[in-house]
Amino acid sequence: MGSTVATARSKILLVDDDQDFLEVYWEILKRLPSGPEVHTASSGARALALLESDPFNLLIVDLNMPKMDGLQVIAIARRKYPQLKIVVWTCIADEQFRARAYGMGVDQYWQKPSSEQERQHFLDSVESVLQREVQGGFRGVQSKSLVDLIQLECLSQNSTTLRIKNGALNGRIWIQAGELIDAEAEDLKGEAAFRQILGWKAGSFELLPGDENRPRAIFSAYQALLLEIAQAMDEASHAGVDGEPLQMSEDAASPLMGLTRFNGVQFILSVGPKPRCEIKSWGLETPDHVSEWAQESLKSFADLGDWLQVGPLQQVTAMSPASHVALAESVKGDLCVGFRSTLKSDEVRETMRNILAKWTS
Amino acid sequence: MGKLPSGAFAMDRDGKVVVSTLPQSFPESQMREIADRVMAFFKGAQNAQMPLHELNVYYPSLKVTARNLRGGALIFLSPQTLPKS
């Protein structure tokens, strides 16, 4: 099955939802000095299918793609094919994305070339990546922490059971279709057990098959739980407390943390009342852009409601195959919440209503 | 302003009404006003790296639903019945 192998002729998989780019660079990359074999995929799902069926040396992937974005492809590819070299090429000029991509183990991060000179630099670097000898050491799962592994399994929508050993202590974490559903550690169950396990400083873990019959006992989003735990651990380390059981404090958490527990929440952004318009966000790469758009949209639709005389704006929801968004105004300012695309439109509206109620209470 | 009718209309990327099931009494200027805001919403989302395909705007007596059509938009107006107190 698919893996990364050293062959006489290197194989490149080029992934981009822009068909024009694919066609142009398919031609150009074929003419590199090493004469690689170039394959293309116009979606993340198609790319993963190709990686599964054929060995490749280099994956060149765009970040901004519908349904499955480049970071998701990278997360899965890096885990499954640790020796695969990965180059990001994207239009996103954002340091956070760059840092995140490098953090996931990509070899190079490029903005899409806009001049002949940039194109030549890009091609030279691709050629150098192909020529580079396979380096030793571990990549992929072996070098990941437990938190990384949980994020990868959830991001990859996997179903798995993680068995963790810490000396005489044993724990298990159940993930079902990318959702964290339960954990068990000694006498603890659910979220308490999850916190306990992630508080262990060392140990080993192994991946077991998923258990679809396991009843769900954890209903918070895994991102929210991981963030809470990371904050608590950070606080504990700053306070010089070691080995104490982790206790979560609402006061220690961001004001938005309490809202991240709602079903399907991926990000939250709040913009405080004028004139300060203080922006707070959780889970967003570019909060400034989103806050500007959210404020303008809410004002625009509130004005429209006045103009049409249909009453005050209640809520705005928007859908896409990748994610959903809801916007609403309140006495505490504007709120913008991103949801998983698995939620239905009615669920987004209802959840947003509940989030708003909690936020303003 | 009179009671809003139920129906749909489509605007192309240049802001021109290409088809409408709304009564002729519903002025085109109002359709443009709604469509401009809808299209600005989709465009702003795209610029914020959040491409969106469908939009729902909820008011007590109206729901506006819109679909992004390659720069244009298909917009549905659904008057809502206010609950009796």
Give the nearest chain B residue to A346 (CA atoms): B56
Single out the residue of B43, B33, B49 nearest to residue B13, CA to CA.
B43
Which of A297, A308, A321 is the closest to B44 by Cβ? A297
Residues of A with CB under 8 A from a CB of B: 64, 66, 92, 285-286, 289-290, 292-293, 296-297, 300-301, 304-305, 307-323, 325, 338, 345, 349
Q: How many C-beta neighbours within 10 Å does residue B33 have? A: 15
**How many degrees, rounded to 5, is the angle at CA B53 between CA A282 and CA B10?**
145
Calculated CA dihedral for residues A59, A62, A63, A68, nearest 10 degrees? -80
pLDDT tens-place string over residues B3-21: 678 999 999 888 888 899 9
A76 CA: distance to closest CA in chain B (Å):
22
Residue A293 and residue B47: Cβ atoms within 8 Å?
yes
Question: What is the predicted pLDDT for the residue at B62?
Answer: 93
8 A C-beta contact, residue A316 and residue A291? no
Residues of B with CB under 8 A from a CB of A: 1, 4, 30, 33-34, 37, 40-41, 44-45, 47-62
Question: What is the predicted pLDDT for the residue at A60?
Answer: 93
Question: What is the predicted pLDDT for the residue at B55?
Answer: 96
Question: What is the predicted pLDDT for the residue at A40?
Answer: 87
ipTM, 2 dp: 0.94
8 A C-beta contact, residue A42 and residue A22? yes
Mutate to test the interface with A, among B56, B62, B64, B82 (most CBs of A within 10 A): B56
Residue B53 and residue A320: Cβ atoms within 8 Å?
yes
Cα separation, A255 vs A250, whole angstroms: 8
Question: What is the predicted pLDDT for the residue at A241?
Answer: 37
**Position B1 pLDDT exceeds 60:** no
- DSSP for A275-291 reads TT--EEEES-S-HHHHH
Cα separation, B66 vs B48, whole angstroms: 19
Residue A318 and residue B62: Cβ atoms within 8 Å?
no
pLDDT along chain A (361 residues), means of 10: 55 88 85 86 84 86 84 84 85 74 78 81 81 42 61 76 75 89 87 83 68 88 79 57 35 61 84 80 79 94 92 94 90 89 89 89 76
A192 membership: H or E segment, kind and range: helix A190-199
Residue B34 and residue A311: Cβ atoms within 8 Å?
no
A315 CA: distance to closest CA in chain B (Å):
5
Residue A316 and residue B45: Cβ atoms within 8 Å?
no
Question: What is the predicted pLDDT for the residue at A237?
Answer: 53
pLDDT tens-place string over residues B15-60: 888 899 998 888 888 899 999 999 999 999 988 888 899 999 999 9
Give the nearest chain A residue to B41 (CA atoms): A297
Mutate to test the interface with B, among A285, A293, A344 (most CBs of B within 10 A): A293
Question: What is the predicted pLDDT for the residue at A51?
Answer: 87
